[in-house]
Structure 1
Amino acid sequence: MRQTITISFASFNRAWAAWIGDRLERRGVRVVYLRWDSPAEETLVDLLRGLALAEGRVLILVSEQYFQLGPRTFAEWNEALREVVAPDPAKFAAVSVTGTAVPSAVAVLAPVDLTNMGDDEAERRLLDRLELRADGRPPDEGRRGPRFPAAMPEVWGGVPRRNTRFTGRDPVLTDAYRLLRDSEPGAGVVTLFGMSGVGKTQLAAEYVYRFGSEYDVVWWVNAESRVSCRRLLAELAPRLGLPTGDEYGERLRAVRDSLRRGTPFSRWLLILDGADEPDQISDLVPTGPGHVVITSRNLEWGAHNSELLEVRVYTRDESIAFIRRRAPRLTDHEADQLAEALEDLPLLLDQSAGWLNDSGLSVEHYIELLEGGVDQDVVRVSADFPVAFQTAWSILLNTLRDMVPESVALLRLCTFFAPGFIPVRLLREMSHDDLPEQLRGLLDDPLLWNRAINQLRQYSVVRLESHEVGADAESSAGESVYLHRMVHQAVARDMPGEERRDFVDVVRRALAEADPGRPTDTRSWATYAELVPHLPYADVLGSTDRRVQTLVLNCLRYMYFAGEYAAGRDLARRALDAWHELLGASHPRIWDLTYQYANLLRATGRLEEAETIERAAAEQLRQERGEHDLDYLRVLSGLAADVGLQGHYAEALALNEQLYPAYRELLGEQDARTLNALNNLGFALRLTGRYQEALEIDRRTLEQRRLVLTGRHLWTLFSEVSYAIGLRLLGRYAEAESIQVANVREYRLVAGETHQDTLRAEHNLALCRLRGGDRAAAGTLLAKVLDGFERKLGDRNLLTLSAAVSHSCFHREHGDIDLARETGESVLARYEQLLPQGHPFVVGARVNLALVLRNVGEWDHGLVLIERALAEMTEAVGESHPYTLGCAVNTSALRSLVGDMESAAELSRITVVRAAEALGRTHPLTLSARVAHAADLRGLRSRPEAAKVEQEALADLEATLGSHHIHTVSARVRNRPYWDFEPQAS
């Protein structure tokens, strides 16, 4: 039976694997090649155990690159080798093809060294390590196998030294090898194309070292010009032993004829590096049995009988691995930060990481320096990437300017968009009146436009993302292009000041004309999402054009409605600074901008800042314009929201009771702004605990919004949620859930799964299901909602905290009590940082935490916490507010647990009276208070009175919620009720 050996090797050492495999196959051994990979998500122990399952014996090629994939630490390798390999030494063997340090536990593999010797001795050592007889089956002398890796091809010239830090790129190398291997004679040409700095030359060099042992001739040619290409090809003649004279033309003809015929060598590899002008040198590319690898920025090689392989920037994993090799002092996280900042461009990663490794500068500080543009002072030119980035691009720009000047103009226009994906179609779609002379022809003439786009694409300056595959570039070029961040910087730095002024104005106009003008319409959000990133690059805040200023305001409004709060807040702050200087403090647009800014401050939890700004604005507008001015009323409505969210519920209600009739008088009953004021009045009533009145307001608002705005408008959907919340707070759980199910479906369709209002709707649906008894569905949805809010808004947003409160309460009763406690304590800490002491949300978080303490047996601690909460809640919202009544229900329970029966009974009695007056006899909270009071009476052994109170409460529970509702069933078996604080954040 044939013996099988599996060779495990790093791609870097493929030549060794091929030679060893060939030597073994000649001895009758069946060889399986297994390229070693080390994905970060799998442990080394698991990877080695998987390797141990390979067929036959496993031969590991020990090298520096084998152990650096990942990258992994030597400590990890040592542990894994001892755990997996040491117990089964017969399964593994190893040969060493490196002289550098390797993990100490590699000793368990007993590797034999194959370096610094000839092929005969290396083969003898290999066979001896595998216990194969060297005098066994003789080698097949008629078969040409791979060359011994330590031996150079017979002809070798011009090849750069190997980059020992070379990382990744296996798919491209494999594709190149496959294309050349499978090509027809005379057609073995592959072009590696891509932008400057992407590593084309390094990739070609690695191809040579990885596969060079299969060739007899390897010849590297600098093909940047026809002259240098001809000269270096001609210099191959004497190396091939061709009888020629000294004249270049004669030598060149002899070389091309020799390569075409394959004599004296048929296995040849020619590299044409930097061949950016195929029209100038395509006739010099030899044909024959050998192979040609071309590196170029110009994808026009595809029209010259070459296969094209695009070389893109590194994947993020490749970037991190490369940076760690170039700058070992950096952590994986720091390497990830640097790769993100440099967009994974290999040349810049090499030069920046090299500089960083020898400096004490932090990655964060270094990135700040880079944001001002790549500078020679913060990169280090290495032997592997010898041309500095800025220099390379300056050379290319000069070339483009000479060939197609319009391509440079277009490229410069692109720098006033954000780097990355640039919607250059906006330039074509805009009005072309009053354009600068140098741009008029470019934008008016489709042929010139396509020529400029294709010139940039041809030299890999940009990529056409929209139409790259299967499209006619001549007719469809120009939808969207991709421009790397560092190319963007290099071009911007090269631009004259006069062009800068003209070009930025053109891009501003293009962006303004692309404004849909409907920031609240979700169908326009994709357009706004495309426009927003380009605003700072076009310096829109410095424009006095009314259309551009309207674009800024509409983008801010979109960002508010789409939940892009932090980014919107920062843009609004910069806009205020710029427009105060540009327009003056009392310009009408300043008031519009102030309102947008305050909204975004409030949405990001900066309530006091919003209040300060809006109080000042309201006072100034009141004095200048009076109380019936729409700008004044709008600022006042923002102020009402500010004070309401800060816990000043009475003041918020008073302001909203003033605002609604004022809007109705000025604008009429059905104006959208009047309906917004009515909506805010309903929310203020809910905050003060007047649930029935709030429900009626929300119903009216919903009906009017459906009539005025249609059913799928965001504000209509928002009103549906508010109405469903009101129904739930009044105990009408089935009605609430029915409305909320349909509403969630509409929200997901209109706004998407991750929108904050969709999450708000899902939050209410989860609470409806929880109150209805579907605990499993409620728990799953609560977890999803909390995760969604944290991802969308962060963990300190009031909506996120509201979801965290519900999540904690759910786990306290139906899940993980430790998780409930951890979440409850975290919520309380975050509320205390965001809100003033005594705020109902802060106090309510203490109420919920006291219930957790009750459940874990810390009754005394819980009682202290709940007593404090009851006093603070009473002071904050009054003794008859539902928050205070619920807090009292929980306080009486803890008093009862610690044995203070009389005090517990008295508190529950008072709570029943107040709840009945405030909410009605059959409200769920009143019913809970009545059931709790019955329990306290039993504790005092007042059994007849307790029975009477209990029977009446049970009868009302059955009539109100049904005999099978979870609250009714729980009361029937005498489980003491509790109250969960639920913050009303919107």
Structure 2
Amino acid sequence: MSVGLSVVEVAEFAEVFADVVAARVVLESAGLVRSRHPGWTTAVEFWSEAGRLLAAGVVVDGRARLMGVAAGLFPGNEVFAAGVAGGLGDGGRGLSVWGVPERLVRFVGREDLLEEVHAAAGAAARVSLVALDGLGGVGKTALALEYAHRHRAEFDVVWWVVAERAELVEARLAELAGPLGLPAESDADAVWAALRGVASWLVVFDNVEEVAAVARFRPSGGGRVLVTSRNRAVRGLGSAWIEVPTLERSASLELLESGPAGADHVGADRVAALLGDLPLAVDQAAGYLARTGISAQRYARLVEAQPGVMLGRGQVVDRPDTVASVWQVSVTWLRAENPAAVGLLELCAWCGPEPIPVDLFTGDHVDWPETAGDRGGLAALRVAAGDSVAWEEAVGALVGYSLARRDGDALVVHRLVAAVTREDAPDGRSDEALRVLAGLLCEVLPGDVWGNPGGWPAWRVLLPHALAVAESARGGEGQLFADGCWLADRTATYWQGHGQLPAAIGLFEQTLTDRERVLGAEHPDTLISRNNLAYAYRAVGRVEQAIGLFEQTLTDRERVLGAEHPDTLISRNDLAGAYETAGRVEQAIGLYEQTLTDRERVLGAEHPDTLISRNNLAGAYETAGRVEQAIGLYEQTLTDRERVLGAEHPDTLISRNNLAGAYETAGRVEQAIGLYEQTLTDRERVLGAEHPDTLISRNNLAGAYETAGRVEQAIGLYEQTMAVAQRVLDQEHPWLATFRANLKRAREATATCDSSAPS
């Protein structure tokens, strides 16, 4: 059987033979005629396709011949040597996963630091976690990136996690699930557990802001963890820590003098001194010199002429502000060369520091707001977004000036670059960029968060940017304020639906305060915020607060919108739910019956909101002991939802779960178990194994097993539910207490049975 190229080998060929001419010469030397060569888009894609051709047997002994040619050209290359020896370039291991950003084009010096890191974190080292800390921009990320690339052949799995936002660390780590062969819904803990079965692996947590976000991810076995952070507290995480210093002057000069511009020694030394040998600043300056062709002395004068805000405040210009001056100069020249690139930077500057998907600006789904302006970079960018060539040139110019870097199909803009861009934009331009970005996010992100699992991937990717824009936009006016509040409200709703109740409540409260301040207490949007906050209060167990807000909102909506407005009917339904939670069941039933009647008349008998009312009324009947009435309504609602919404819509799954509960209450336990099992299977497939609704299904099925006397099965499900809930729900979530009590009861029942058994 023919063999192709491993993941590691593809990466090695793509790096060593990154030029199309060299790549084709090597492939021809291995016996593959040029007419059979893959097309050239990127080096990685070229060599991946070449590997597939070799695996297909288009050349006899093609792999061996290719490895021989490569090893002859680069005799010291370990990957090629392993290939010649007959093994795969992954060292013969069965798994090879590489999830690391591209290698920096210009990396100089640091050999002593790389040796120190390797001595501490290498595969043969006794230390398993190494922390790199130091000044922002000092090159911690560059050092970790270079280390990962140099030593990738030593590990089966190498994965990079952007850890700047504590609340997103687990989501980024969970993205490793797919490459490891785990189910797509697997969380960070499942990934970490799976890594224990990997012979040798390296995970990099880059730019950690909150140490607690990564503290529990301790390596074991052949695992290694590398952490970079400006926070010195990371030193307490690992067995070793390294403080990353600024560059030696000789390394700074090498960066400045070795580029195409070939800066003169005296001018380069002056630039390095002005930049304090800060790697980020020096490398950016070198890129600027190479791109513009100006002298180092001229560049130094431009930097000196822009001390900016720091001199204005009477403070000494320190290294970070010198970096800001460098970025100001770069933007000035970029604006003249490619205005669209500046427009792109102005938009990215309002995003979060996480990777920004480029299709946010260019996808077919994007309808650019009319407010995109008729002048400057944003106008140019709007045109470029519709022209693939112009778009790539704009992105290339932005990356070429070191103002952003590529990360796959995303762009990353350093937080300091973003800050300088926002502060230094011409009058009105920065606010205009924020307006455009807010409009784009409102266009791209689905507004239906609860019942639309298909929209959750977009929310997961864009959540940090929606948060960042919402925080800024809520301080604006008009449509900008409205968009910011919408993003905040929808983000809070997403968090609530995924079990992050405290975070959701905090954002709901902020949004309500903002809307009351700007729009007034009775504006329809303010009433939406008040109702949503009340709903979150109810979910977290603050029922009396919820009832107060619901009653206030219902009164206001009846007066402002009318008694039969759809939003008013939502308030009446939600207030009934809060009454039911508080034990005021008869009041709840009265409101539910009134709301159902009104919705059938106003919206129609099969409108989704009407079906919600019928489902909720059935629940209140069940709570009141009117089980047969509840079962009749549940069965009718389930039938209607299957027909109107589909068998796997989240609301349909709610109906099936509730009907199972009513069957169990009525003593029809086997019917209940069948429905619970079906619902759990469907929720795991549609929502994911760890969605809060799936946890409810698993818990309910365990309860039915317990009722049926299948206590051991019940305990197993309760334990599984509890373990997952502790990972995915906030520790203050009220469901945790319920799950814990259920597990305790089942275990005690088993213990009681054991103690009463004859000896």
Structure 1 residues 408-807: aligned runs within 5 Å: 408-428=342-362, 429-431=366-368, 433-436=370-373, 437-438=375-376, 439-445=378-384, 446=387, 447-467=389-409, 480-519=410-449, 520-538=451-469, 539-541=472-474, 542-545=476-479, 548=483, 557-623=493-559, 627-807=563-743
TM-score normalised by L of structure 2: 0.58
The separation in 2 between residues aligned to 1:273 and 1:553, in whole angstroms, is 39
CA deviation string 1:316-361 (max 9, x = no partner):
xxxxxxxxxxxxxxxxxxxxxxxxxxxxxxxxxxxxxxxxxxxxxx
Unpaired runs of 5+ in structure 2?
Answer: 1-110, 133-137, 154-205, 208-227, 231-242, 270-281, 296-308
**Alpha carbons of 1:281 and 1:198: their partners in 2 closer, same or farther (altered >3 Å)?**
farther
CA deviation string 1:31-53 (max 9, x = no partner):
xx99644125xxxxxxxxxxxxx
Unpaired runs of 5+ in structure 1?
Answer: 1-10, 19-32, 41-68, 72-163, 180-193, 210-217, 236-270, 285-373, 468-479, 816-851, 857-969, 975-986
Structure ranking higher on relative contact order (CA contacts 8 Å, 6+ apart): 2
Contact 2:328 2:420 in 1 (8 A): no
The separation in 1 between residues aligned to 2:658 and 2:591, in whole angstroms, is 20
Query: Percent of pairs identical after alignment?
Result: 21
The separation in 2 between residues aligned to 1:780 and 1:177, in whole angstroms, is 43
- The alignment of Structure 1 onto Structure 2 pairs a total of residues equal to 513
SS in 1 for 2:428: helix
Cross-structure match for 1:137:
none
Cross-structure match for 2:257:
223
Structural RMSD (CA): 4.8
The separation in 1 between residues aligned to 2:684 and 2:548, in whole angstroms, is 36
**Alpha carbons of 1:206 and 1:434: their partners in 2 closer, same or farther (altered >3 Å)?**
closer
Cross-structure match for 1:121:
none
Contact 1:443 1:449 in 2 (8 A): no
Structure 1 residues 175-186: aligned runs within 5 Å: none
Contact 1:38 1:70 in 2 (8 A): no
The separation in 2 between residues aligned to 1:589 and 1:165, in whole angstroms, is 46
**Alpha carbons of 1:615 and 1:719: their partners in 2 closer, same or farther (altered >3 Å)?**
same
Per-residue deviation, 1:465 = 2.3
The separation in 1 between residues aligned to 2:668 and 2:727, in whole angstroms, is 32
CA deviation string 1:641-686 (max 9, x = no partner):
1122122233223322332223223333222112111111111122
Within the candidate set 374, 386, 391, 2:322 is matched to 391
Within the candidate set 102, 112, 128, 1:39 is matched to 128
Cross-structure match for 2:287:
276
Per-residue deviation, 1:760 = 0.7
Q: Which amino acid aligns with 2:713?
A: A
The separation in 1 between residues aligned to 2:415 and 2:268, in whole angstroms, is 40
Within the candidate set 135, 146, 149, 1:172 is matched to 146
Contact 1:39 1:70 in 2 (8 A): no
The separation in 2 between residues aligned to 1:229 and 1:618, in whole angstroms, is 71
SS in 2 for 1:754: coil
Contact 1:390 1:490 in 2 (8 A): no
The separation in 2 between residues aligned to 1:168 and 1:735, in whole angstroms, is 60
**Alpha carbons of 1:452 and 1:13: their partners in 2 closer, same or farther (altered >3 Å)?**
closer
The separation in 2 between residues aligned to 1:402 and 1:13, in whole angstroms, is 35
The separation in 2 between residues aligned to 1:531 and 1:691, in whole angstroms, is 44
Contact 2:139 2:244 in 1 (8 A): no
Per-residue deviation, 1:577 = 2.2
Contact 2:369 2:436 in 1 (8 A): no
Cross-structure match for 2:747:
811
The separation in 2 between residues aligned to 1:450 and 1:394, in whole angstroms, is 27
Per-residue deviation, 1:229 = 4.1
Task: Tell which structure's C-alpha radius of gyration is larger.
Answer: 1
The separation in 1 between residues aligned to 2:596 and 2:152, in whole angstroms, is 74
The separation in 2 between residues aligned to 1:272 and 1:534, in whole angstroms, is 27
Per-residue deviation, 1:573 = 2.2
Contact 2:673 2:704 in 1 (8 A): yes
The separation in 2 between residues aligned to 1:431 and 1:715, in whole angstroms, is 33
Per-residue deviation, 1:809 = 0.7
Q: Which amino acid aligns with 1:417?
A: C
SS in 2 for 1:535: helix
SS in 2 for 1:420: coil
Per-residue deviation, 1:737 = 1.3
Q: Which amino acid aligns with 1:607?
A: V
Q: Which amino acid aligns with 2:128?
A: P
The separation in 1 between residues aligned to 2:139 and 2:428, in whole angstroms, is 44
Contact 1:221 1:229 in 2 (8 A): no
The separation in 1 between residues aligned to 2:736 and 2:333, in whole angstroms, is 57
The separation in 2 between residues aligned to 1:769 and 1:497, in whole angstroms, is 67
